[in-house]
């Protein structure tokens, strides 16, 4: 991560979701690199925790703590985020390699407060971003 202000804070709530491997790979492959990845785990079992530990180098901030559900986890992530824009990427979803570049362009070239991205059912999560 570079030293300039973080543009995106990507928050991933997770609970027992081994498919999170795809999530990590999609963020690793982004051609836009000015983001932090915050993972909030609500108390997963060993398999998911093992995956999180193996991918720790791709996680900017990791909280493993019992929560009151997905929205509680997302709110925990928002509280510690440093980015100008927040993205929610669920643990079984992923971004295409140019997702962050496209979203960045929309925010920089338009006066918008949020952006919902295209959704391919069962393949990619919608963007829900806010300044």
- The answer to the question of residue 80 being in a domain is yes
- Listed as own residue / partner, the contacts of 100-104 with beta carbons closer than 8 Å and 24 or more positions apart are 100/8, 100/30, 100/31, 100/32, 100/35, 101/30, 101/31, 101/32, 103/8, 103/127, 103/129, 104/7, 104/8, 104/32, 104/34
Taking residue 118's Cβ as centre, other Cβ atoms within 10 Å add up to 10
Helix (H/G/I), strand (E/B), else coil: 37: strand
Q: Is residue 121 part of a domain?
A: no
| Residue 89 within any structural domain of the chain | yes
pLDDT band at 121 (very low <50, low <70, confident <90, very high): low
Q: Is residue 26 assigned to a domain?
A: yes
Give the start-end residues of each E strand in the chain: 8-14, 35-41, 61-64, 85-88
In a domain, 99, yes or no: yes
What order of strands is seen across the sheet that includes strand 8-14? Answer: 61-64, 35-41, 8-14, 85-88
Flag whether pLDDT at 119 surpasses 60. Answer: no
Q: pLDDT tens digits, residue range 49-105?
A: 999 999 999 999 999 999 999 999 999 999 999 999 999 999 999 998 999 999 999
Q: Residue 21: which domain range?
A: 8-109
Residue 129 has pLDDT above 70, yes or no: no
Read off the pTM.
0.86
Do the domain assignments include residue 68?
Answer: yes
The total number of residues shown for the chain amounts to: 131
CATH number of the domain to which 44 belongs: 3.90.550.10
pLDDT tens-digit series, residues 3-57: 568 999 999 999 999 999 999 999 999 999 999 999 999 999 999 999 999 999 9
DSSP state of 56: G
Q: Please check whether residue 19 lies inside any domain of the structure.
A: yes
Q: Which two tokens stand for residue 115?
A: 């952006």
Angstrom distance (rounded) from CA 59 to CA 52: 8
């Amino acid at each position: 991560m570079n030293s300039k202000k973080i543009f995106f804070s990507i928050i991933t709530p997770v609970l027992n979701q081994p498919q999170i491997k795809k999530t990590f790979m999609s963020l690793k492959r982004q051609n836009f690199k000015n983001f932090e990845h915050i993972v909030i785990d609500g108390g997963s079992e060993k398999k998911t925790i093992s995956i999180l530990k193996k991918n720790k180098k791709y996680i900017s901030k990791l909280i493993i703590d019992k929560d009151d559900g997905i929205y509680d986890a997302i709110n925990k992530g928002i509280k510690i985020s440093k980015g100008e824009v927040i993205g929610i990427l669920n643990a079984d979803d992923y971004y295409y390699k140019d997702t962050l570049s496209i979203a960045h362009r929309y925010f920089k070239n338009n006066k918008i407060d949020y952006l919902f991205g295209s959704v391919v059912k069962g393949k990619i999560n919608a963007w829900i971003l806010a300044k």
